[in-house]
Amino acid sequence: MKIDEAREVRTTCPYCGVGCGVLAKVAANGEVTVRGDPDHPANFGRLCSKGSALAETIDLDGRLLYPEIHGSRTDWDEALDLVASTFSRTIAEHGRDAVAFYVSGQLLTEDYYVANKLMKGFIGSANIDTNSRLCMASSVAGHRRAFGSDTVPGSYEDLELADLIVLVGSNLAWCHPVLYQRIAAAREKRPDMKVVLVDPRRTMTSDIADMHLAIAADGDVALFTGLLAHLGQHNALDRAYITAHTTGFGQALFAASALDLAGIAAATGLGEDELVRFYSLFAATANTVTVYSQGVNQSSSGTDKVNAIINCHLATGRIGKSGAGPFSVTGQPNAMGGREVGGLANMLAAHMEIENPEHRDRVQRFWSAPTVAEKPGLKAVEMFQAVADGRIKALWIMATNPVDSMPDADAVEAAIKACPFVVVSDVLAKTDTVRHAHVRLPAAAWGEKDGSVTNSERRISRQRAFLATPGEARADWWIIAEVAKRMGFDEAFSHPSPADIFAEHAALSAFENDGARDFDIGAYAGVDEEGYEALVPFQWPAPSPGGTIGRQPIRFFANGSFYTPDGRAKFIAIRPTAQTRTSSDYPLVLNTGRVRDHWHTMTRTGKSPRLSQHLAEPFAEIHPADAQHFGIGDADIVSVSTEHGEVLLRALVTMRQRPGSVFVPMHWTDQFSARARVDALVAPITDPISGQPASKNVAARVERF
Ligand code: SF4
């Protein structure tokens, strides 16, 4: 098991998008210990409960250690040959769009790069999408509409420098704990710093909030269009910035003014006095950062929410400045890395655009590829619908568990069961998805593989191996490249190591770029094994060795220049809306989300007794008034149902919950608690622009069981 007993290995936490540095050590008796890396600029030595329990989750219980075909052990050659020949035959018989990859924000950038290269450049389809679609696709779409690029403008340091932090749809205390700790520490040093929390629930994050706006589900568009109108009415605009650096302000302000204050109050469920206090605070505080997460992104109006927030920052010139800017925090460890290499079905590698013929030509020439995808592929929800109706006949799922995590999860499971050929590469042998695979490929886990990840502030860090790979498990990039070679693409996929892939990825970012695109890590184009091993965490852009490397923090748009064709940021005209889905049959709003000590479908954190102590079972949080109305007592077993399914949970009656709503955590699967897969309840409704599912506003009913 041991690689080097004497040395602590610098690596990165595999959980949330904060991207904390971890020092891992293997003792002579094989015992693994972890601690926070004091030198990593994301966490400076801090770790949350999940990160500090990593050593408890790396045993081999339940691991998939050997390739399997139809549940029987086989060798790699036979398994890879079968995958390659079946994909090739399916493409020959039914066309290139009859195959698909569904990948994951848990993959390392090098894995993602090779998967995307195979699908978009060599198979020639864009049918590769990722569970990051469920995480931050609305932010990507909003960034691209406003900035002409998918760019998070600021850095974590801006959260410490801000005088006002507005947290929207984010339980930062539980979902990005180290970032929350950084804000709490900054606030202790500067007690005048203010925090506003916009969230239907009163969560642990409200402990540091000066103001909690318990907004109605999907009231965010109304809240921020109302803010824009308020800024216009109260001379709080930066007219010089708007004139010099933006377009579309007049239309955006006109659309935002569709509702008066009473109308905004009705659409948000907030009081007019609360609205005015928040709007006045925002208007008066130049150093404002608006941090937003899944409550914004996971919505049928997610992209509009993102742009409504960005509009307010553009209108006040609060972007690209120290302590100011809109700031999307990603849920997953490498959601950002996936964006960089084109892991979304509607993007090309290196942040290039699939709809742009010049970009397609550039990527194809760089790869010397036989073809390149000519149109966007199917986004996650559409992809599984295409599996269900038979358009997709061969599916490869990597490092994710869609039978538990996709909306309308029962329908997704039925689609996967009926698909003629399903490959799953995973660490575990028995997830709800793996059991439906025709071919199971054992993947290396955290601690066993080498690569890189990018966190929410665009910082690229290495994940490094400190354990030997067990059984016949292999790195994901190796598995994908071996299939590609067997499909006839030997030369392009002859990567000897992740360092070689990273160097190619960096070279592509700089290829015919000349600063025209936001993502550029050209300084690393020639990195060798030694340089890759020694790589220290850095933010992009890093275009040249003498350029921005090591100068922290980096802020985009400081000069007021954007990546749109005219170089100006674009205001998006958005009308305030409210989205009511409840009915007499389903009178409550179901909101799904995370708890502090578990991660996704608990395949890793479920192994730690310590982490499971915090909240031992799934629950349904409901307001006392609703509990009384429906005859539910605290700790009763209740049925939560929607048009799509039903789960059984323990009721948690609490004032933290907004009346008319119910909260259920997303983590528990049928493996851990009978009938607890909450995503079986979530309707497959998506944002029309980003394709991100609306997992926080589902019409539901709660009854005593
Ligand atoms: Fe890991 Fe996120 Fe916790 Fe940091 S905050 S230790 S990245 S889970």
pLDDT in tens, 166-217: 999 999 999 999 999 999 999 999 999 999 999 999 999 999 999 999 999 9
- For 260-270, what is each residue's pLDDT tens digit? 999 999 999 99
Residue-level pLDDT at 202: 96
Is the per-residue pLDDT at 28 higher than 50?
A: yes
CA 491 to the chain's CA centroid: 33
Would 68-134+334-494 and 137-329 be classified into the same CATH topology?
no
355 has a pLDDT exceeding 80: yes
Of ligand 1's listed atoms, the one at least distance from the Cα of 16 is 2
Residue 608 binned pLDDT confidence (cut-offs 50, 70, 90): confident
Positive or negative: CA dihedral 453, 456, 458, 459: negative
Question: What's the CATH fold of domain 137-329?
Answer: Dimethylsulfoxide Reductase; domain 2 (3.40.228)
Q: How many angstroms separate the alpha carbon of residue 111 from the centre of ligand 1?
A: 21
pLDDT digits (tens, 9 = 90+) for 220-249: 999 999 999 999 999 999 999 999 999 999
- Using the CB atoms, write b or e for 294-313: b if 16+ within 10 Å: bbbbbbbbbbbbbbbbbbbb
Q: Is the pLDDT of residue 344 over 70?
A: yes
Distances (CA, A) of 598 to 51, 279, 602: 11, 35, 6
Quick one: tokens of 525? 């184009």
Give residue-wise pLDDT tens across range 516-574. Answer: 889 999 999 989 999 999 999 999 988 876 544 444 567 899 999 999 999 999 999 99
Task: Provide CATH code, domain 68-134+334-494.
Answer: 3.40.50.740
Q: What class has domain 588-704?
A: mainly beta
Which band of pLDDT confidence, cut at 50, 70 and 90, is reported for residue 677? confident
pLDDT > 90 fraction of the chain, expressed in percent and rounded: 87
Q: What's the CATH class of domain 9-57? A: alpha beta
What's the rounded mean pLDDT across residues 468-486? 98
Nearest atom (ligand 1) to Cα of 48: 3
Alpha-carbon gap, residue 411 to 2, rounded angstroms: 43
Q: Whose CA is nearest to atom 3 of ligand 1?
A: 48
Q: What is the mean pLDDT of the chain?
A: 94
Domain chopping of the chain, boundaries: 9-57, 68-134+334-494, 137-329, 588-704
Pick the closest to residue 167 from 192, 187, 193, 196 (CA basis).
Answer: 196
Q: What is the DSSP string of 625-691?
A: HHHHHTT--TT-EEEEEETTEEEEEEEEE-TTSPTTEEEEES---TTTSTT--GGGTS---B-TTT-
pLDDT for the residue 2 = 43
User: Best mutation site among 54, 135, 176 for ligand 1, i.e. most ligand atoms within 8 A of its Cβ?
Assistant: 176
User: In 355-428, which residue ranges form alpha helices assigned H by DSSP?
Assistant: 357-367, 380-388, 402-405, 409-418
The model's confidence at residue 514, banded by pLDDT at 50, 70 and 90, is confident
Looking at residues 584-592, what average pLDDT do you find? 96
Ligand 1 site residues (CB inside 6 A) read 13, 15-16, 18-20, 43, 47-48, 50-51, 176-178
Quick one: CA dihedral 336, 338, 340, 343, positive or negative?
Answer: negative
Res. 70 pLDDT band, cuts 50 70 90: very high
Does residue 367 surpass a pLDDT of 50? yes
Residue recorded with tokens 């995808």: 373
Predicted complex ipTM: 1.00
Say if CB 637 and CB 648 are below 8 A apart. Answer: yes
Min mean pLDDT across 186-200, 456-470, 576-590 is at: 576-590
**Farthest-apart Cα atoms in the chain, separation:** 71
**Model-level pTM?**
0.96
Supply the pLDDT for residue 63: 97
Of all protein residues, the one whose alpha carbon is nearest to atom 4 of ligand 1 is 20
- Give 120-151 as a DSSP string: IIII----EEEGGGGTTHHHHHHHHHHHSS--
- Cβ distance 184 to 239 under 8 Å? no
| pLDDT at position 548 | 47
Nearest Cα to Cα of residue 446 among 76, 51, 179? 51
